[in-house]
C-alpha cells in the first residue's frame, strides 16, 4: 500500500468522525507539555518521567490488545504475522519512544507554549515525506500555508529575550527532531493500521516502545528513582492516561478514517489549548511579538486544514 490519501468517495460521516476524533485527540495531547512542566517542577528528570508514563499506561494497552486479539480470532481473521508485528513495533518505537523522548528533553529548555507551537508545524514534514516516500502530490497551497507558519516561528525566535539563545536553540532542535519523527510515524502507521486495526496497532506500538523506554531507564537510573513525590506521581498518572492512553487511541482511530495529512493539520486547537493552559497553570506569558508569531503559525496550518477538508 503506497498511498495514504482517503478516496474522494469516502462517506462524509466517516470523514467527519475522523476529523472529530483527530481534534479531540489533539487537544488532549496539548495538555502533555503542561503536565511535563509540572512534573519537572517536582524534581523528576526526563528518563524517570518517561518511564513512569509508559509503565502506568502499559496495562491499559495490554488489556485492550488482548481483547482485540480475541476479537480477531473470534471473527476468523488471519493471525498476525511476525513481520507485521515487528513493523508495528518499530513504528511505535519511532513515535512513542524517540519522538516522545526528544520532545520531553526539549521541554527542559523551552516553554510549553513554544514547544507546542514548534511541534504543531510537523505537517510540513508529513507533506514532504509523503511526497518523497509515497509519491503523494504536494499541493502549492500546502507550501504557501507553511510559509506563514515558519514565518511565525522565525518571528518568535527573533523576539526571544537576550541570553536565551543557547537554551532556545537546543530545545527547539530537540522538538523539531520530535516533529520529524512524528511526521514519519503518521505516514508509516496508516497502512499498518489498515491491516491490523487501530486499537491493536496502538497496543503493539506502545508495548514495543515501553520495552525500549524501561530499558533506557534501567541503564541510566536505579529502580528506586521511580519512587517520586505524590504530586509528581499525580502528574505522571495524568500524563499516562489523559495525555497518552486516551488520545493515542483517538488519533489512530482518526488515521483509520482520514488521510495522514488531514490528521496532521486537524489539530488547529492544540496550540491554542496549550497556550491557554500554560498561561493559567504555569504562568507562562507571551509577548506581543510571540502572539503575532503564534497567530501566523495557527493561521497557516488552520488555513491548510480548511482547504484539505474542502
Question: Domain range holding 112?
Answer: 13-309
User: So what's the pLDDT on residue 126?
Assistant: 82
Residue 310 has pLDDT above 70, yes or no: no
Q: How confident is the model at residue 266 (pLDDT cuts 50, 70, 90)?
A: low
Is residue 49 in some structural domain?
yes
Is residue 196 in some structural domain?
yes
Q: Is the dihedral of CA 132, 125, 95, 213 positive or negative?
A: positive
Is residue 7 in some structural domain?
no
Is residue 1 in some structural domain?
no
Q: How far apart are CA 60 and CA 97, in angstroms?
A: 17
Our CA dihedral for 245, 251, 255, 261, rounded to 10 degrees, sits at -140
For the chain, what is the domain count? Answer: 1
Is residue 288 in some structural domain?
yes
- Which has the closest alpha carbon to 36: 278, 249, 296, 288? 278
Is residue 6 in some structural domain?
no
User: So what's the pLDDT on residue 262?
Assistant: 66
Averaged pLDDT, 246-261? 75
Cell digits for 211? 520495552
Is residue 224 in some structural domain?
yes
User: So what's the pLDDT on residue 98?
Assistant: 97
Q: How far apart are CA 255 and CA 259, in angstroms?
A: 6
Is residue 140 in some structural domain?
yes
User: So what's the pLDDT on residue 6?
Assistant: 47
Based on the number of CB atoms within 10 Å of its own CB, is 307 exposed (0-12), middle (13-18) or buried (19 or more)?
A: middle
In contact, 245 and 25? CB cutoff 8 Å: no
Amino acid at each position: 500500500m503506497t498511498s495514504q490519501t482517503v478516496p474522494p468517495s469516502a462517506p462524509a460521516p466517516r470523514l467527519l468522525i475522523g476529523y472529530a476524533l483527530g481534534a479531540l485527540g489533539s487537544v488532549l495531547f496539548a495538555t502533555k507539555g503542561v503536565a511535563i512542566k509540572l512534573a519537572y517542577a517536582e524534581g523528576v528528570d526526563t528518563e524517570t518521567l518517561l518511564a513512569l508514563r509508559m509503565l502506568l499506561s502499559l496495562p491499559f494497552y495490554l488489556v485492550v490488545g488482548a481483547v482485540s486479539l480475541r476479537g480477531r480470532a473470534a471473527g476468523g481473521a488471519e493471525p498476525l504475522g511476525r513481520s507485521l508485528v515487528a513493523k508495528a513495533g518499530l513504528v511505535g518505537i519511532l513515535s512513542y519512544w524517540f519522538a516522545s523522548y526528544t520532545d520531553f528533553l526539549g521541554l527542559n529548555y523551552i516553554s510549553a507554549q513554544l514547544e507546542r507551537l514548534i511541534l504543531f508545524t510537523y505537517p510540513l514534514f508529513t507533506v514532504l515525506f509523503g511526497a518523497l516516500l509515497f509519491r503523494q502530490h504536494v499541493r502549492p497551497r500546502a507550501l504557501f500555508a507553511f510559509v506563514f507558519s515558519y514565518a511565525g516561528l522565525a518571528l518568535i525566535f527573533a523576539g526571544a529575550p537576550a541570553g536565551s539563545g543557547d537554551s532556545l536553540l537546543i530545545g527547539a532542535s530537540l522538538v523539531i527532531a520530535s516533529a520529524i519523527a512524528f511526521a514519519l510515524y503518521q505516514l508509516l502507521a496508516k497502512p499498518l493500521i489498515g491491516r491490523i486495526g487501530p486499537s491493536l496497532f496502538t497496543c503493539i506500538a506502545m508495548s514495543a516502545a515501553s520495552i525500549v523506554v524501561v530499558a533506557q531507564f534501567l541503564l541510566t537510573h536505579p529502580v528506586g528513582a521511580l519512587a517520586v513525590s505524590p504530586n509528581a506521581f499525580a502528574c505522571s498518572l495524568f500524563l499516562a492516561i489523559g495525555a497518552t492512553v486516551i488520545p493515542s487511541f483517538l488519533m489512530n482511530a482518526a488515521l483509520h478514517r482520514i488521510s495522514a495529512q488531514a490528521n496532521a493539520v486537524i489539530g488547529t486547537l492544540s496550540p491554542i489549548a496549550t497556550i491557554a493552559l500554560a498561561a493559567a497553570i504555569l504562568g507562562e506569558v507571551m509577548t506581543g511579538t510571540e502572539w503575532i508569531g503564534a497567530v501566523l503559525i495557527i493561521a497557516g496550518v488552520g488555513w491548510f486544514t480548511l482547504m484539505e477538508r474542502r
